[in-house]
Chains A and B, each alone.
Chain A
Amino acid sequence: DAKTTQPTSMDCAEGRAANLPCNHSTISGNEYVYWYRQIHSQGPQYIIHGLKNNETNEMASLIITEDRKSSTLILPHATLRDTAVYYCIVLYNFNKFYFGSGTKLNVKP
């Protein structure tokens, strides 16, 4: 089963881009990478997902390396409300999402 590793925490200045890395070196060819975030004591919120091409939506961009062993979530202009725990998740066996411990992003004024 593919697993993910992320830094425990990161800081970002308000208005700057936040780049959150994730390693998923054991990912297999048909496993998607998903990103969610969780604000304290709430349910996780979906951000974006991708297979091998870069993806962008209104919230963020997802950059996946060509070998698919790592990815980066980019929040282009971080605000204080983006302070949360960000989870990089691999969907495996078509039905199971593996959540690691995530990265605590602290956006500072």
Chain B
Amino acid sequence: DGGITQSPKYLFRKEGQNVTLSCEQNLNHDAMYWYRQDPGQGLRLIYYSQIVNDFQKGDIAEGYSVSREKKESFPLTVTSAQKNPTAFYLCASRLAGLNTDTQYFGPGTRLTVL
């Protein structure tokens, strides 16, 4: 069963704690992405990675960090520096960087900071 998995589906953390969201794909895709979605809003790009050991900031990278040590995995850490971390977080992947490559999404993780 191929696809993108994100765990957990729901996550609760106390204010001031760092938290790491998992994203794994077995599609053999080179590129991976993290988005944030707030209620009633579209998706905003946090970070993306086109290749192992390389990643770039998206539009709202402040307060977040990522790593790409393996092709299959792209974990996102929400740090205590992120002012409003409560949101729905979506991970996605693409085969490569061609215009015709479709982006596929995971089921998302809903993070609530108390």
Q: Which residues of A are in contact with B by a Cβ distance under 8 Å?
A: 30-32, 34, 41-46, 49, 51, 87, 91, 94-97, 99-102
Contact = CB atoms under 8 A, between A and B. Distances in A.
Given A46-B102, A87-B42, A97-B43, 17 more contacts: A30-B99, A32-B100, A34-B102, A41-B88, A41-B110, A42-B108, A43-B90, A43-B106, A44-B90, A46-B104, A87-B43, A95-B31, A95-B50, A95-B97, A97-B45, A99-B35, A99-B43
B68 interface: no
Nearest to A6: B42
Nearest to B106: A43
Summarize A's interface: helix, strand, loop or mixed: loop
B63 interface: no
Nearest to A104: B40
Interface string B33-70: 10100001111110010100000001000000000000
A101 B103 contact: no
A51 B99 CA distance: 9
B58 A99 contact: no
B114 interface: no
A51 to B, nearest CB: 8
Contact of B105 (A45, A91, A100, A102): A45
B31 A44 contact: no
A46 to B, nearest CB: 5
